[in-house]
Amino acid sequence: MADTGSPLDLALWAARLESAVTGLKSVGLAGDLARLQNAQGALPGAWVLPADETSAAPMDEPSLYQRVTVRVSIVTALRSYGDATAGRATDALRERRKALITALTGWTPADAASPVSFVSGRRLGPVKGAMWWEDIFETDYYLPRRQNA
């Protein structure tokens, strides 16, 4: 899996999902999602993407660190089964979301400073026979401050 550019190692998040959420055919990072969007055989799947980061005001001296809150997006995709109400896909999505929220909420990645918390979720829409959903999670890490010489 490729580095995403985030100071957090999102491969740790993907590994957590692989080990804790059953029934996923694919778990990956942003680059994997781009390659697999049209591959129905990869569904159901979940992908970990950086969402955004916000920084608290720098701490007063003599602190050497600044707290950064990072949000991570988990995009889940399931095959739509063609029933008129999408009931089967909705039920399957509910079960996958329950498992991934349980797997991530309260877990502290090795490179984070606080446990992961759930922020929000939203439907991304049906695309090419699949139901797509995004859940946002949040944690913090500390960014070293550059010292003036």
Question: CA 123, 40, 71 angle in degrees (round to 5)?
Answer: 40
Q: Considering the domain boundaries, does residue 41 fall inside one?
A: yes
* Pure H helices in 1-149: 10-20, 30-36, 87-104
In a domain, 4, yes or no: no
Residue 1 in any domain: the answer is no
In this prediction, residue 49 carries a pLDDT of: 92
The range of the structural domain enclosing residue 96 comes to 10-56+64-144
**Residue 149 belongs to some domain of the structure:** no
pLDDT digits (tens, 9 = 90+) for 53-97: 998 766 565 567 788 999 999 999 887 766 555 667 788 889 999
Tokens representing 132 are 């797509």
* Residue 86 belongs to some domain of the structure: yes
Assigned domain for 20 exists? yes
What distance in Å separates the CA atoms of residue 34 and residue 97, rounded to the nearest whole number? 21
Q: What is the DSSP string of 79-94?
A: E----TT-HHHHHHHH
pTM exceeds 0.85: no
What is the per-residue pLDDT for 34?
66
Q: 147 or 138: whose pLDDT is higher?
A: 138
Residue range 22-46, pLDDT digits in tens: 888 889 888 776 666 555 567 888 9
- Report pLDDT digits (tens) over 85-136: 566 778 888 999 999 999 999 999 999 999 999 999 999 876 777 888 999 9
The domain that contains 29 carries what CATH number? Answer: 3.30.2000.10
How many domains is the chain partitioned into structurally?
1
Question: 85 in a domain, yes or no?
Answer: yes
Residue 5 inside a domain? The answer is no
